[in-house]
Amino acid sequence: MPRSSPHSSRRTRLGNHGQQVNKNWRIGIDLGGTKIEGLAIDAHGRENLRLRVSTPAGDYHGTLSAIRSLVEDMEARLGEGASVGVGIPGALSQATGLVKNANSTCLIGRPLDRDLADVLKRPIRLANDADCFALSEATDGSAKGAPVVFGVILGTGVGGGIVINGRLLSGPNTIAGEWGHNPLPWPTDGERPGPTCYCGRAGCIETFLSGPAFSRDDGRGLSARDILAAGDAQTEVSLARYEQRLARALAHVINIIDPHVIVLGGGMSNIARLYETVPRLWGQWVFSDTVHTSLRPPKHGDSSGVRGAAWLWPAPGGEPESGFAVTTEPSVAQDCDPIPETIWLTRDPPDPDTPPLPERPLPPLRGEGEAESPRPETDSLSQMEINLLLTQRELMVAKTEAALADAAKSRFLAAASHDLRQPFQAMNLYLQVLEMSNLEPRARTALSLLHNSMMAGEELLKALLDISAFEAGMVSSHVTVFPVTEILHELADEYRNLADERGLSFRTHAIGALVETDRVLAKRMCRNLVHNAFRYTQKGGILIGCRRRGNRLLIQVYDTGPGIPTDKLQMIFEDFYQLDNPSRDKTKGLGLGLSIVQRTAHLLGQNVWVASRLGRGSVFSITLPLAPQQEDPPPSG
């Protein structure tokens, strides 16, 4: 590229459209969904100027114009031109050169790098925003000087980037570090199949570790910020579950790339205790006797992404301070040294000035009948460590085999569902025939008891089969649009007689709203909540109500039961947990109803939570998505 004389006081270069660029200044652009941020730094990373403008929503050409105006404004204030790097919420396809995997949909399928080069009249460099975060922290942030760095974004979504020897690792598919759309490793039974992700799969790391996922898992309908501010027992339970999942997910990364430093970014990275608790937990999943990887908060906080975009360009001396991702200037690749053949991942390369350790002599061979000499203490310790590793590996294998056996059991029960239900259907027919017969009082009493026992057995079998179907991944949703009044009125008809028999008030309050979800699964959630309310309410009544909350419909089931202790609010959603059944009386069910509600809500991508007061009652809440641009039908009945 054309350069000024080496004696010039300012190093400059000419872009492919003749734009003069001062190599002492770098401008980083962070292209977000709601704002575009620009930052100018000098050759030493010192911040000189920061500006923000709104992102034209859904307008690709408007976005190009906004970036051009922002860069022109910044250069006018700097008094000279600068290189430009851009971080985007997506990546460029190596096959087409077009943007892919972007949550700003107006960018998808566009040649953003080429279009920006045209409007800015210079070459630009472009990378994923998570890659920019990792590059920033590896260049002059909390991981400065570390040979291998993994940068993690834990925000509205989950992403990552890998930096090796100061260079971004992109890969032939431009997805290096894209860990958010891998499945959560070592899932528990309650985590399978996992919430549905926008990528079309279920159980992605993003559906467990993003900010919205943390809020959904807590179950109270609060934002992550409000959950942490509450600081109560339920917050502690939710945080402990989040820390354990994060430890598993990061252990998986350590097992693959063995980074020296992992840096957390995004809103969830502000939870200070993560940096102490997660490293204490991850060792049980890392395939090593010790773990030297360091977990650190970001030095530059929310500014890391835009700083990383600026660092996509080489240092003024011509040697690159960091790697590059995508460029529109073919000659730029010649300015960057290739990644060396040998990359020292697990330890520093040997120092040539350090003398080698003396070789340890082999023990002499023993003659027949000679006693074995005592081994040094260091050998005994090594053997103990080896035995411990072997034991840990055996435990891991046993745990895997148990999980596979449990999954096979679930698949069997789900597949045999029809055959297992048939005997109950036959018994029901026989009982109906007997009920029409002339029976003496003792026989009719026995028949009534038999009918109650059969109904209880059928209910238990149905709950077990429902849970097994979830665990086997055989439950899927079929989304339709329907008025919510339909299922509420059906539930009113179904439970009205039971309410009259027990002297309870039972009311529904429906609004004329259309929801877009699976009708069968939505009704099952509501029925389980109503059934649970009737189980625990002895006097007073039960109310089903609904109201709009943004683009969601909130359905709530109120009861005047005994209430739930605060420390049990999360436990009631666990499999087989019951508050009032210590003797495990099977006529009171198995304690699976609320667990099925929670699994169903996760499958539909919705929330379920509970609030309660002892002696006053409880209210269970679920959300359903409203149909877009609906015309509200008039409330029926």
Radius of gyration of the chain measured on its C-alpha atoms: 31
pLDDT value at 569 more than 60: yes
- The answer to whether 184 touches 245, Cβ cutoff 8 Å, is yes
Tokens of 316: 């003024």
What's the pLDDT tens digit per position in 279-288? Answer: 999 999 999 9
pLDDT value at 510 more than 70: yes
pLDDT value at 190 more than 90: no
Cβ-in-10-Å burial (0-12, 13-18, 19+) of 117 comes to: buried
Q: Rounded to whole angstroms, how far apart are CA atoms 561 and 181?
A: 42
CATH architecture of 145-298: 2-Layer Sandwich (3.30)
Tokens 């009032």 correspond to what residue?
Answer: 580
For residue 23, the model assigns a pLDDT of 64
Report in angstroms the alpha-carbon separations of 278 from 210, 242, 257, 345, 616.
Answer: 16, 10, 18, 22, 39
Strands of 35-178 (E only): list them: 35-42, 47-54, 82-88, 91-92, 99-100, 125-128, 148-154, 158-164, 167-168
Write the single-letter amino acid at 143: A
Residues 6+ apart with CB under 8 A from 55: 31, 32, 33, 34, 35, 36, 63, 66, 104
Task: State what percent of residues in the chain have pLDDT above 70.
Answer: 72
Please count the other Cβ atoms lying within 10 Å of the Cβ belonging to residue 482: 16
Report in angstroms the alpha-carbon separations of 568 from 16, 191, 296, 576.
Answer: 66, 20, 34, 13
Strands of 374-485 (E only): list them: 479-483
- The answer to whether 149 touches 163, Cβ cutoff 8 Å, is yes
pLDDT value at 403 more than 80: no
Model confidence band, residue 415 (pLDDT cutoffs 50, 70, 90): low
Concatenated DSSP letters of 223-256 = -HHHHHHH-SHHHHHHHHHHHHHHHHHHHHHHHH
Model confidence band, residue 400 (pLDDT cutoffs 50, 70, 90): low
What's the pLDDT tens digit per position in 100-111? Answer: 877 777 898 999
Concatenated DSSP letters of 293-322 = -EEE--SSGGGHHHHHHHTTSPPTTSS-SS
- Angle at Cα 190 formed by Cα 185 and Cα 193, nearest 5°? 65
Give φ, ψ of 626 to 5 degrees.
Answer: -75, 145
Least-confidence region, from 89-98, 156-165, 220-229, 234-243: 89-98
pLDDT value at 37 more than 50: yes
Count each helix (H run) and each strand (E run) in the chain, helices first.
15, 21
Among 232, 240, 305, 344, residue whose Cα is nearest residue 569: 232
Interval 275-301 mean pLDDT:
92
Task: State what percent of residues in the chain have pLDDT above 90.
Answer: 37
pLDDT value at 263 more than 80: yes
For residue 360, the model assigns a pLDDT of 41
Among 446, 426, 425, residue whose Cα is nearest residue 435: 446
pLDDT value at 335 more than 60: no
Pairwise pLDDT comparison (198 vs 121), residue with the higher score: 121
- 3-class DSSP assignment, residue 48: strand
Q: Rounded to whole angstroms, how far apart are CA atoms 474 and 479?
A: 16
Tokens 């210590």 correspond to what residue?
Answer: 582
For residue 116, the model assigns a pLDDT of 94
Tokens of 553: 């419909």
613 strand-pairing partners: 617
Write the single-letter amino acid at 162: I
Q: Rounded to whole angstroms, how far apart are CA atoms 296 and 151?
A: 10
For residue 29, the model assigns a pLDDT of 95
Measured in whole angstroms, the distance separating CA 623 from the mean position of its chain's CA atoms is 20
Report in angstroms the alpha-carbon separations of 330 from 19, 335, 339.
Answer: 17, 10, 18
Among 572, 477, 629, residue whose Cα is nearest residue 219: 572
Report in angstroms the alpha-carbon separations of 397 from 83, 91, 383, 393, 403.
Answer: 53, 38, 21, 6, 10
For residue 390, the model assigns a pLDDT of 65
For residue 630, the model assigns a pLDDT of 52
CATH number for the domain whose boundaries are 1-141+300-338: 3.30.420.40
What's the pLDDT tens digit per position in 310-334? Answer: 999 865 544 434 433 333 333 333 3
Tokens of 51: 């500006």
What's the pLDDT tens digit per position in 58-75? Answer: 899 999 999 999 999 999
What's the pLDDT tens digit per position in 10-35? Answer: 333 334 344 555 667 899 999 987 88
pLDDT value at 462 more than 90: no
pLDDT value at 484 more than 70: yes
Top-tier CATH class for 479-625: alpha beta
- The answer to whether 136 touches 304, Cβ cutoff 8 Å, is yes
What's the pLDDT tens digit per position in 343-390? Answer: 333 333 344 444 443 444 444 444 444 444 444 444 444 566 666 766
- Angle at Cα 244 formed by Cα 599 and Cα 225, nearest 5°? 75
Q: To the nearest whole number, what is the mean pLDDT of the chain?
A: 78
For residue 210, the model assigns a pLDDT of 92
Q: Rounded to whole angstroms, how far apart are CA atoms 609 and 20?
A: 59
Among 109, 31, 95, residue whose Cα is nearest residue 64: 31
Interval 598-605 mean pLDDT:
82
